[in-house]
Amino acid sequence: MKTFNVLFLCTGNSARSIMAEAMCSIESKGRMIGFSAGTKPYGSVNPYAVGEITRLGYPVDELRSKSWSEFATPDAPRMDFIITVCDEAAGEPCPVWPGKPVSAHWSFPNPVHIQGDDEARRWVFKQIAIGLSRRIQLMSSLPLEVLDRTALQYEIEHVAGD
């Protein structure tokens, strides 16, 4: 069975895309390998994202906030899918990715900007983690090996019924 590389993009690469990266390999049972990057990375992973990932039992050791330019080089892992998880990154001009991966946009609010106490912030991060997990599970259940590019594009974009 082929393993698919999935790059999750966000502006800051500190929360949503980081959580998706951590979840991807585990939720897909190794069928997909998650990566993440930001258009303007903050340089650190949000502590609430780390808390949610840890709470769910996902590995956090190697997670770091990084630029998408790391994945546009010739020696970078070749991506099969590029998924933006924030509206700002979806609207920015993207690099030309080697291999022309299928792209999609999964809109999630930016939890970093949520105001409130610790409980309110944890709740928002948990809701986003639930949404990401659901979409990753649905994506990994698709017959990715047999769908043509047009069908893949449609299915990945609409995996959560949006």
Residues noted as catalytic: 10, 86, 94
CA-CA-CA-CA dihedral for 129, 151, 142, 23, to nearest 10: -30
Closest CA to 56 of 7, 29, 19: 19
Please say whether the beta carbons of 41 and 4 come within 8 A: no
Please say whether the beta carbons of 20 and 83 come within 8 A: yes
Please say whether the beta carbons of 152 and 144 come within 8 A: yes
In degrees rounded to 5, what are phi and psi of residue 28?
-90, 5
Please say whether the beta carbons of 139 and 33 come within 8 A: no
* 3-state SS class at 101: coil
Instruction: Kindly report the length of the chain.
Output: 162
